[in-house]
Amino acid sequence: MAGSKGQNANTSKTMQIKKYSIPESTLIYKPKAPFMAGVISTTELTEADSSDEVFNIILDVADSDIHYIEGQSIGIIPPGERETGKPHKARLYSIASARTGDDGTSTTATICVKRVFRKDEVTGTTIPGIASNYLCDLKPGDSVALIGPNGRRFLLPEDDSIDLILIAVGTGIAPFRAFIRHIFLEKGYWNGRIRLFYGIKNAMEALFLNNRNDDIGQYMTRETFEAFRALSRVHNEDSEKGYVQHKLAEHKQEVWEIICAGNFAVYICGLKGMEEGVDEVFSTLARQQELDWPTMKAEFIKNGQWNLEVY
């Protein structure tokens, strides 16, 4: 690991991150008065032989006066009622498109939705998730009740010299697809390093990084950007099985150098509980330098350098 103990002990030096500002002109829709967004397209992201189905859903928000930015989310209210007779609650989804939308017109918003099923603990029957199956079955021309946009913390820094460490599992890749598209497609560059660590079951389910859709992978040629995939289920001896924290640990030297330099922002997105494995990697690295990770992390959170979005 680069740097002596004395040098790394200066990691307590932190910086306040100034993030992108949300446009004041944007309208925010509430559950009692949602915006009815039209469905432009639904495209499957996972490859044909995948055990999961994940869809890229593009919504028309042209008449909404919604002006979102990367890192925000929108809510979708499924039709129908709960057993109590009340309307279904909104489900939040990270926006997967950059601020100008997938078509560059600033009139669309994209979400990434996995079709979910659960087993009834009593009967053992398989029950389809209400919101996910509703969304995955949508067709162009349908409309959905949309609320938001929401979120003021999981936003990119204004300073493009800041190193970014992006850590995702599954559909948690959605906001990072928005980040990458804004940085390289709209803005055109990022002077700091960008390191994406992505955990999925297998290569066919590497959303935006597979043969069906390579929206993120196409920017791997950019000098400042690298992406690393961790596959938890592999079917041949040539591939190494592991989770996202294991891939992070493989690159611990560069990751810890970034943290020690102080000019960084970490973003973690995915299933609740994924942060525990990630936290253990950083805790181990800090302990090796006789540093107190909980204290360091608390300061990073305070300064906007440590950002968590789990569901």
Q: How do beta strands 194-200 and 225-231 pair?
A: parallel
According to the model, what pLDDT value does residue 154 have?
Answer: 98
CB proximity list for 51: less than 8 A, separation 6 or greater: 201, 205
Biggest CA–CA distance in the chain, Å, is: 63
| Residue 94 designated active-site | yes
Amino acid identity, position 65: D
Which superfamily is assigned to 35-150 in CATH?
A: Translation factors (2.40.30.10)
According to the model, what pLDDT value does residue 203 have?
Answer: 83
Sketch the domain layout of the chain as residue ranges.
Answer: 5-19+153-310, 35-150
Catalytic residue (choose from 41, 106, 232, 311): 311
Q: How far apart are CA 31 and CA 44, in angstroms?
A: 28
Q: What percent of the chain has pLDDT over 70?
A: 93
pLDDT tens sequence across 49-74: 888 999 999 999 999 999 999 999 99
Q: How far apart are CA 30 and CA 301, in angstroms?
A: 28
| Residue 134 designated active-site | no
Q: How far apart are CA 156 and CA 307, in angstroms?
A: 10
pLDDT tens sequence across 253-293: 999 999 999 999 999 999 999 999 999 999 999 999 999 99
CB proximity list for 30: less than 8 A, separation 6 or greater: 147
| Residue 20 designated active-site | no
Catalytic residue (choose from 94, 132, 205, 219): 94
| Residue 267 designated active-site | no
| Residue 269 designated active-site | yes
Q: How far apart are CA 280 and CA 167, in angstroms?
A: 14
Give the CA dihedral 175, 179, 184, 185, nearest 10 degrees.
60
Check pLDDT > 50 for residue 142. yes
What is the CATH code for 5-19+153-310? Answer: 3.40.50.80
Catalytic residue (choose from 93, 198, 219, 267): 93
Q: Which two tokens stand for residue 61?
A: 């928000």
